């Protein structure tokens, strides 16, 4: 390739901003935005940029659409629905559940899902779609195979992959990750799940409700321990009712593949304790696929496998992060939000800053859990004069009418008289949490929340009672 000693000025459509690119071969493809990764964050960045008239190339080496529609959100929620109907005595055998899941992830004819719908959507929006492994090759440059692209800005939306611990003997057991856990067409004879976070608890409930012996191993004393203790305790009891064996405060030390009863794998937990399963599923966290990305070419060095963007989600000049790689948490809805946010910033809205203090979290087990913001201890650690208020769902009209347990717990800044956290477990809490998301985002006073009418009988009404309790307490003091 011949490099010409000239500079190229690229103006981003819809803005007055222009990016000076170094001297490149005039034959090089040039785009206002090059997006590496076509999961939800990459798709959101691409569609937003195209809506503003910017030229975009979007690149992925695997499935366009990412994990959510194929190996995570959509299949797991489809299986949770099927398992709930089956558990309640409905006509939903595993064969039907598996077929429904395959339909949801567009995997009806082969083992691999068909991502052509995602590709078509991007192409119809006017983006240039490229399959391949992309590498950042320097400021404003991205390489895909033998092809080099010039970029006004680069968005890294590379997603995450299941973390597989370095356990002796684990590889010989051919462990599952979320991919196998959400895509299995045959029920395992028995299953050990390592990790009691959202993925672990959701799939534990799915398989247990289809009468698979499930053992859930988690190193903490509570499942789903990043949630409120009330939520974790309710969920733990529900899993045990469904037949899940909980091994809490235990950590896998070693695997003996095929050495258990009837050829099951043996997981050594220490102190002569073991767990056995014909399949082992890993759900201990997510890693970022940073190797080979070329970050050194822009002077960026990961810190313990993570990147630290600034308040505009930028790690270098005109290089932005979106989705799992951006943090501070990993959720599909956060990926969509940050994808649009970085496209907006990269195309010239330099005053915009994404608001990341009101990120909703939801787990779709029975009972559901949902939360936003800070736990009481977290708020106090930040120097907030915080107080917690809880209302029980089980003894409310909603709890009585649907025969459900649960709670609504809020954390309030007493000095500012605003909400800083909310934690719930029970029916439909994944929907009810959004009032609290908006309250934190907008800084709505507790008095206003308490003076808001909530329909009866709903979980939102229970939440409204918590607001009233907090407001009365604040007025009294």
Distance CA 429, CA 425 (A): 6
Residue 420 lies in a domain: yes
Does 240 share its domain with 320?
A: no
Q: Is residue 326 a contact partner of residue 343, using CB atoms and an 8 Å limit?
A: no
Does 180 share its domain with 260?
A: yes
- Identify any residues that bridge with 156 across adjacent strands, giving them in sequence order: 36, 321
Does 332 share its domain with 422?
A: no
Does 437 share its domain with 296?
A: no
Does 336 share its domain with 245?
A: no
Query: Is a pLDDT exceeding 70 seen at residue 207?
Result: yes
Residue 441 lies in a domain: yes
Does 21 share its domain with 153?
A: yes
Confidence at residue 6, expressed as pLDDT on a 0 to 100 scale: 29
**Domain end among 244, 265, 284:** 284
Does 52 share its domain with 153?
A: yes
In this prediction, residue 240 has a pLDDT band, given cuts at 50, 70 and 90, of very high
Identify the CATH number of the domain in which residue 134 sits. 3.50.50.60
Residue 95: helix, strand or coil by DSSP? helix
What digits encode the pLDDT tens for the residues 418-473?
Answer: 999 999 999 999 999 999 999 999 999 999 999 999 999 999 999 999 999 999 99
Confidence at residue 108, expressed as pLDDT on a 0 to 100 scale: 83
Does 143 share its domain with 54?
A: yes
**pLDDT-above-70 percentage for the chain:** 94
Confidence at residue 270, expressed as pLDDT on a 0 to 100 scale: 84
Residue 295 lies in a domain: yes
Q: Is residue 197 a contact partner of residue 285, using CB atoms and an 8 Å limit?
A: yes
In this prediction, residue 169 has a pLDDT band, given cuts at 50, 70 and 90, of very high
Residue 90 lies in a domain: no
Query: Is a pLDDT exceeding 90 seen at residue 396?
Result: yes
Does 292 share its domain with 280?
A: no
Distance CA 231, CA 462 (A): 15
**Domain end among 264, 284, 304:** 284
Query: Is a pLDDT exceeding 80 seen at residue 14?
Result: no
Residue 74 lies in a domain: no
The stretch 126-132 carries a mean pLDDT of 98
**pLDDT-above-90 percentage for the chain:** 92
Confidence at residue 271, expressed as pLDDT on a 0 to 100 scale: 85
Helices (H), 105-163: 116-124
* Closest of 459, 469, 449, 384 to residue 423, by C-alpha: 459
Distance CA 178, CA 256 (A): 22
Distance CA 214, CA 188 (A): 10
Distance CA 170, CA 124 (A): 44
The stretch 249-258 carries a mean pLDDT of 97
Query: Is a pLDDT exceeding 80 seen at residue 3?
Result: no
The stretch 185-204 carries a mean pLDDT of 98
Torsion, Cα 90 93 94 99, to 10 degrees, reads: -90
Does 267 share its domain with 292?
A: no
Query: What residue numbers bound the domain in which 222 lies?
Result: 171-284
Does 154 share its domain with 293?
A: yes
Distance from CA of residue 382 to its chain's centroid? 25
Distance CA 406, CA 394 (A): 6
**Domain end among 284, 306, 333:** 284
Identify the CATH number of the domain in which residue 429 sits. 3.30.390.30
* Closest of 421, 416, 309, 307 to residue 360, by C-alpha: 421
Residue 152 lies in a domain: yes
**β pairing state of 314-316 and 319-321:** antiparallel
* Residue 290: how many other CB atoms lie within 10 Å: 16
Query: Is a pLDDT exceeding 80 seen at residue 105?
Result: yes
In this prediction, residue 27 has a pLDDT band, given cuts at 50, 70 and 90, of low
In this prediction, residue 36 has a pLDDT band, given cuts at 50, 70 and 90, of very high
Confidence at residue 5, expressed as pLDDT on a 0 to 100 scale: 29
Residues 6+ apart with CB under 8 A from 464: 449, 450, 452, 453, 454
Does 418 share its domain with 438?
A: yes
Give the chain's domain count: 3
In this prediction, residue 2 has a pLDDT band, given cuts at 50, 70 and 90, of very low
Residue 333 lies in a domain: yes
Residue 86 lies in a domain: no
Query: Is a pLDDT exceeding 80 seen at residue 7?
Result: no
* Closest of 175, 177, 138, 157 to residue 56, by C-alpha: 157
**β pairing state of 361-363 and 368-373:** antiparallel
What digits encode the pLDDT tens for the residues 258-296?
Answer: 999 999 999 999 888 999 999 999 999 999 999 999 999
Helices (H), 14-93: 40-51, 68-71, 73-87
């Amino acid at each position: 390739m011949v490099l010409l000693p000239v500079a190229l000025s690229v103006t981003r459509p819809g803005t007055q901003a222009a990016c000076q690119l170094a001297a490149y071969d005039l034959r090089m493809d040039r785009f206002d935005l090059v997006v590496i990764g076509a999961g939800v964050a990459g798709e959101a960045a691409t569609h937003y940029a195209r809506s503003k008239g910017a030229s975009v190339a979007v690149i992925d080496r695997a499935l366009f659409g990412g994990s959510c529609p194929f190996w995570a959100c959509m299949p797991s929620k489809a299986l949770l629905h099927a398992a709930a109907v089956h558990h309640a005595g409905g006509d939903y055998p595993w064969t039907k559940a598996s077929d429904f899941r395959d339909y949801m992830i567009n995997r009806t004819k082969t083992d691999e899902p068909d991502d052509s719908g995602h590709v078509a959507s991007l192409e119809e929006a006017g983006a240039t779609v490229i399959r391949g492994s992309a590498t950042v090759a320097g400021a404003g440059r991205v390489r895909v195979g033998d092809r080099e692209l010039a970029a006004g800005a680069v968005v890294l939306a590379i997603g995450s992959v299941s973390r597989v611990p370095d356990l002796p003997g684990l590889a010989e057991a051919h462990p599952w990750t979320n991919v196998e856990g959400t895509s299995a067409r045959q029920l395992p004879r028995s299953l050990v799940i390592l990790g009691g976070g959202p993925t672990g608890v959701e799939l534990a409930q799915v398989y247990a409700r289809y009468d698979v012996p499930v053992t859930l191993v988690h190193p903490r004393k509570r499942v789903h321990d990043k949630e409120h203790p009330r939520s974790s305790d309710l969920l733990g009891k529900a899993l045990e009712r469904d037949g899940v064996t909980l091994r809490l405060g235990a950590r896998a030390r070693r695997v003996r593949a095929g050495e258990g009863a009837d050829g099951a794998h043996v997981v050594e937990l220490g102190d002569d304790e073991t767990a056995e399963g014909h399949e082992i599923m890993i759900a201990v966290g997510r890693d970022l696929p940073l190797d080979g990305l070329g970050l050194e070419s822009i002077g960026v060095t990961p810190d313990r496998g993570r990147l630290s963007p600034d308040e505009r989600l930028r790690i270098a000049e005109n290089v932005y992060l979106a989705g799992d790689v951006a943090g501070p948490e990993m959720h599909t809805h956060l990926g969509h939000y940050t994808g649009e946010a970085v496209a907006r910033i990269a195309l010239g809205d330099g005053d915009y800053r994404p608001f990341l203090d009101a990120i909703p979290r939801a787990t779709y087990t029975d009972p559901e859990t949902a939360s936003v913001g800070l736990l009481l201890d977290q708020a106090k650690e930040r120097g907030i004069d915080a107080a917690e208020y809880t209302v029980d769902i089980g003894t409310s009209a909603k709890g009585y009418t649907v025969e459900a347990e649960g709670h609504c717990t809020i954390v309030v800044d007493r000095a500012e008289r605003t909400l800083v956290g909310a934690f719930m477990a029970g029916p439909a809490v994944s929907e009810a949490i959004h009032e609290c998301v908006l309250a934190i985002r907008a800084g709505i006073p507790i008095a206003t929340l308490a003076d808001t009418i909530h329909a009866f009988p709903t979980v939102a009404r229970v939440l409204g009672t918590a607001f009233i309790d907090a407001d009365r307490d604040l007025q009294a003091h």
